[in-house]
Copies of this chain bind each other. A is one copy, B any other.
Amino acid sequence: MAVNVSDSVTEETMALRVVGALRDDIVTMTLKPGDVISESDIAGRYGVSRQPVREAFIRLAQQGLLLIRPKRATVVKKISPEGVRQSRFIRESIEVEIIRRVASHPGEAKAVLGELIAEQEAASSADDSRRFHTLDELFHRTLARLAGVEYAWQLIDDHKMQLDRVRYLTLGVSSSQVAIGEHKAIAAAVGAGDVAGAEAAMRAHLARAEVLLNQTISDHPDYFE
Protein backbone atom coordinates (compact mmCIF):
# COMPACT_ATOMS: atom_id res chain seq x y z
CA MET A 1 0.00 0.00 0.00
CA ALA A 2 2.90 2.33 0.70
CA VAL A 3 4.37 4.19 -2.24
CA ASN A 4 8.02 4.99 -2.46
CA VAL A 5 8.68 8.38 -3.96
CA SER A 6 11.99 7.46 -5.51
CA ASP A 7 10.37 4.57 -7.33
CA SER A 8 10.30 5.94 -10.84
CA VAL A 9 8.29 3.34 -12.69
CA THR A 10 5.35 2.37 -10.50
CA GLU A 11 3.20 5.46 -11.14
CA GLU A 12 2.24 6.73 -14.54
CA THR A 13 2.20 10.48 -14.22
CA MET A 14 4.08 12.81 -11.95
CA ALA A 15 0.83 14.12 -10.54
CA LEU A 16 -0.19 10.67 -9.34
CA ARG A 17 3.27 10.08 -7.93
CA VAL A 18 2.92 13.22 -5.86
CA VAL A 19 -0.59 12.23 -4.78
CA GLY A 20 0.63 8.89 -3.50
CA ALA A 21 3.62 10.36 -1.74
CA LEU A 22 1.68 13.12 -0.04
CA ARG A 23 -1.19 10.85 0.97
CA ASP A 24 1.26 8.46 2.53
CA ASP A 25 2.97 11.30 4.36
CA ILE A 26 -0.34 12.59 5.66
CA VAL A 27 -1.77 9.26 6.80
CA THR A 28 1.46 8.35 8.55
CA MET A 29 1.55 11.76 10.21
CA THR A 30 4.84 12.68 8.58
CA LEU A 31 2.88 15.71 7.51
CA LYS A 32 0.96 16.70 10.59
CA PRO A 33 -2.48 18.28 10.72
CA GLY A 34 -2.06 22.04 10.56
CA ASP A 35 1.20 21.92 8.62
CA VAL A 36 1.36 24.56 5.91
CA ILE A 37 2.61 23.53 2.49
CA SER A 38 2.77 25.32 -0.84
CA GLU A 39 2.88 24.32 -4.46
CA SER A 40 6.40 25.62 -5.02
CA ASP A 41 7.57 24.05 -1.78
CA ILE A 42 6.43 20.55 -2.67
CA ALA A 43 7.42 21.06 -6.31
CA GLY A 44 10.98 21.79 -5.31
CA ARG A 45 11.03 18.91 -2.86
CA TYR A 46 10.08 16.38 -5.53
CA GLY A 47 11.87 18.01 -8.44
CA VAL A 48 8.83 18.70 -10.57
CA SER A 49 7.03 21.82 -11.65
CA ARG A 50 4.14 23.38 -9.77
CA GLN A 51 1.57 22.11 -12.23
CA PRO A 52 1.43 18.41 -11.23
CA VAL A 53 1.72 19.40 -7.59
CA ARG A 54 -1.26 21.67 -7.97
CA GLU A 55 -3.30 18.86 -9.45
CA ALA A 56 -2.25 16.61 -6.60
CA PHE A 57 -3.44 19.25 -4.14
CA ILE A 58 -6.82 19.34 -5.85
CA ARG A 59 -7.23 15.59 -5.60
CA LEU A 60 -6.19 15.45 -1.97
CA ALA A 61 -8.39 18.40 -1.10
CA GLN A 62 -11.37 16.60 -2.58
CA GLN A 63 -10.51 13.61 -0.42
CA GLY A 64 -10.58 15.84 2.63
CA LEU A 65 -6.89 15.58 3.48
CA LEU A 66 -5.91 19.08 2.41
CA LEU A 67 -7.58 22.45 2.76
CA ILE A 68 -6.87 24.91 -0.03
CA ARG A 69 -7.33 28.49 1.08
CA PRO A 70 -7.30 30.48 -2.16
CA LYS A 71 -4.51 33.01 -2.52
CA ARG A 72 -3.50 32.24 1.05
CA ALA A 73 -2.04 28.82 1.61
CA THR A 74 -2.71 25.10 1.61
CA VAL A 75 -2.69 23.28 4.91
CA VAL A 76 -2.94 19.69 6.02
CA LYS A 77 -6.49 19.51 7.27
CA LYS A 78 -6.93 19.02 10.96
CA ILE A 79 -8.98 16.01 11.92
CA SER A 80 -12.59 16.85 12.61
CA PRO A 81 -13.94 14.75 15.52
CA GLU A 82 -17.44 15.21 14.19
CA GLY A 83 -16.30 14.19 10.74
CA VAL A 84 -14.67 11.09 12.16
CA ARG A 85 -17.85 10.16 14.02
CA GLN A 86 -19.96 10.56 10.93
CA SER A 87 -17.47 8.69 8.77
CA ARG A 88 -17.73 5.93 11.28
CA PHE A 89 -21.51 6.13 11.17
CA ILE A 90 -21.28 5.48 7.46
CA ARG A 91 -18.90 2.62 7.99
CA GLU A 92 -21.02 1.06 10.70
CA SER A 93 -24.16 1.33 8.60
CA ILE A 94 -22.51 -0.48 5.74
CA GLU A 95 -20.68 -3.07 7.77
CA VAL A 96 -23.84 -3.99 9.65
CA GLU A 97 -25.67 -4.47 6.40
CA ILE A 98 -22.78 -6.54 5.10
CA ILE A 99 -22.62 -8.78 8.14
CA ARG A 100 -26.35 -9.42 7.88
CA ARG A 101 -26.05 -10.57 4.32
CA VAL A 102 -23.10 -12.80 5.07
CA ALA A 103 -24.73 -14.30 8.14
CA SER A 104 -27.90 -14.94 6.16
CA HIS A 105 -25.96 -16.95 3.63
CA PRO A 106 -22.75 -18.19 5.25
CA GLY A 107 -21.24 -20.72 2.88
CA GLU A 108 -17.48 -20.57 2.70
CA ALA A 109 -17.45 -17.65 5.11
CA LYS A 110 -16.58 -19.61 8.23
CA ALA A 111 -13.54 -21.26 6.70
CA VAL A 112 -12.19 -18.14 5.05
CA LEU A 113 -12.60 -15.99 8.14
CA GLY A 114 -11.04 -18.68 10.28
CA GLU A 115 -7.88 -18.63 8.21
CA LEU A 116 -7.61 -14.86 8.45
CA ILE A 117 -8.01 -14.96 12.22
CA ALA A 118 -5.26 -17.54 12.46
CA GLU A 119 -2.92 -15.25 10.55
CA GLN A 120 -3.89 -12.38 12.81
CA GLU A 121 -2.94 -14.41 15.87
CA ALA A 122 0.41 -15.13 14.30
CA ALA A 123 1.03 -11.46 13.62
CA SER A 124 -0.08 -10.56 17.12
CA SER A 125 2.28 -13.10 18.67
CA ALA A 126 5.12 -11.68 16.61
CA ASP A 127 4.19 -8.17 17.80
CA ASP A 128 3.97 -7.05 14.17
CA SER A 129 1.40 -4.30 14.52
CA ARG A 130 1.86 -3.11 10.96
CA ARG A 131 1.02 -6.53 9.59
CA PHE A 132 -1.87 -6.89 12.00
CA HIS A 133 -3.29 -3.63 10.71
CA THR A 134 -3.17 -4.97 7.17
CA LEU A 135 -4.82 -8.22 8.20
CA ASP A 136 -7.50 -6.38 10.14
CA GLU A 137 -8.36 -4.34 7.07
CA LEU A 138 -8.36 -7.51 4.99
CA PHE A 139 -10.80 -9.10 7.42
CA HIS A 140 -13.37 -6.39 6.83
CA ARG A 141 -12.69 -6.24 3.13
CA THR A 142 -13.21 -9.98 2.88
CA LEU A 143 -16.59 -9.65 4.54
CA ALA A 144 -17.53 -7.11 1.88
CA ARG A 145 -16.43 -9.51 -0.82
CA LEU A 146 -18.43 -12.33 0.70
CA ALA A 147 -21.47 -10.06 0.65
CA GLY A 148 -20.85 -9.28 -3.01
CA VAL A 149 -20.24 -5.58 -2.46
CA GLU A 150 -16.48 -5.29 -2.72
CA TYR A 151 -16.86 -2.43 -5.15
CA ALA A 152 -18.90 -0.55 -2.58
CA TRP A 153 -16.05 -1.00 -0.17
CA GLN A 154 -13.74 0.78 -2.59
CA LEU A 155 -16.23 3.59 -2.90
CA ILE A 156 -15.94 4.47 0.75
CA ASP A 157 -12.16 4.23 0.80
CA ASP A 158 -11.87 7.99 0.62
CA HIS A 159 -13.89 8.45 3.77
CA LYS A 160 -11.97 5.68 5.45
CA MET A 161 -8.77 7.66 5.13
CA GLN A 162 -10.02 10.03 7.81
CA LEU A 163 -10.32 7.07 10.13
CA ASP A 164 -6.92 5.77 9.08
CA ARG A 165 -5.21 8.89 10.34
CA VAL A 166 -6.71 8.38 13.78
CA ARG A 167 -5.89 4.74 13.63
CA TYR A 168 -2.24 5.41 12.87
CA LEU A 169 -2.02 7.44 16.09
CA THR A 170 -3.29 4.45 18.02
CA LEU A 171 -1.14 1.82 16.35
CA GLY A 172 0.67 0.50 19.37
CA VAL A 173 -2.17 1.27 21.72
CA SER A 174 -4.91 -0.87 20.26
CA SER A 175 -4.58 -4.26 21.87
CA SER A 176 -4.76 -6.66 19.00
CA GLN A 177 -5.77 -9.47 21.35
CA VAL A 178 -9.07 -7.76 22.04
CA ALA A 179 -9.68 -7.22 18.34
CA ILE A 180 -8.97 -10.85 17.58
CA GLY A 181 -11.44 -11.95 20.21
CA GLU A 182 -14.08 -9.74 18.62
CA HIS A 183 -13.27 -11.09 15.20
CA LYS A 184 -13.77 -14.60 16.56
CA ALA A 185 -17.16 -13.65 17.96
CA ILE A 186 -18.19 -12.21 14.59
CA ALA A 187 -16.98 -15.27 12.68
CA ALA A 188 -18.70 -17.62 15.11
CA ALA A 189 -22.07 -15.88 14.78
CA VAL A 190 -21.68 -15.77 11.00
CA GLY A 191 -20.84 -19.45 10.87
CA ALA A 192 -23.91 -20.25 12.95
CA GLY A 193 -26.11 -18.16 10.68
CA ASP A 194 -27.04 -16.00 13.67
CA VAL A 195 -27.91 -12.71 11.97
CA ALA A 196 -28.84 -10.75 15.07
CA GLY A 197 -25.83 -12.06 16.94
CA ALA A 198 -23.47 -11.19 14.13
CA GLU A 199 -24.87 -7.68 13.92
CA ALA A 200 -24.46 -7.20 17.66
CA ALA A 201 -20.90 -8.51 17.56
CA MET A 202 -20.01 -6.18 14.70
CA ARG A 203 -21.49 -3.17 16.47
CA ALA A 204 -19.56 -4.01 19.61
CA HIS A 205 -16.38 -4.34 17.56
CA LEU A 206 -16.82 -0.96 15.92
CA ALA A 207 -17.94 0.73 19.11
CA ARG A 208 -14.52 0.21 20.65
CA ALA A 209 -13.18 2.80 18.21
CA GLU A 210 -15.20 5.49 20.00
CA VAL A 211 -13.11 5.04 23.12
CA LEU A 212 -9.90 5.15 21.14
CA LEU A 213 -10.97 8.35 19.41
CA ASN A 214 -11.64 10.20 22.64
CA GLN A 215 -8.36 9.01 24.07
CA THR A 216 -6.52 10.12 20.94
CA ILE A 217 -8.07 13.58 21.09
CA SER A 218 -6.76 13.92 24.62
CA ASP A 219 -3.28 12.77 23.61
CA HIS A 220 -2.99 15.00 20.53
CA PRO A 221 -5.38 17.92 20.93
CA ASP A 222 -3.46 20.03 18.40
CA TYR A 223 -4.19 17.52 15.62
CA PHE A 224 -7.95 18.07 15.95
CA GLU A 225 -10.25 20.96 15.23
Contact = CB atoms under 8 A, between A and B. Distances in A.
Interface of A: 12-13, 54-55, 58-59, 62-63, 70, 82-83, 86-87, 89-90, 92-94, 96-98, 149, 151-152, 155-156, 159
* Chain A interface, >50% SS class: helix
The complex is assembled from copies of this chain, and their number is 2
B90 A152 contact: yes
A160 B89 CA distance: 17
Contact of A94 (B13, B93, B149): B93
A14 to B, nearest CB: 12
Nearest to A101: B89
Contacts of A90: 90, 94, 152, 155-156
Nearest to A15: B58
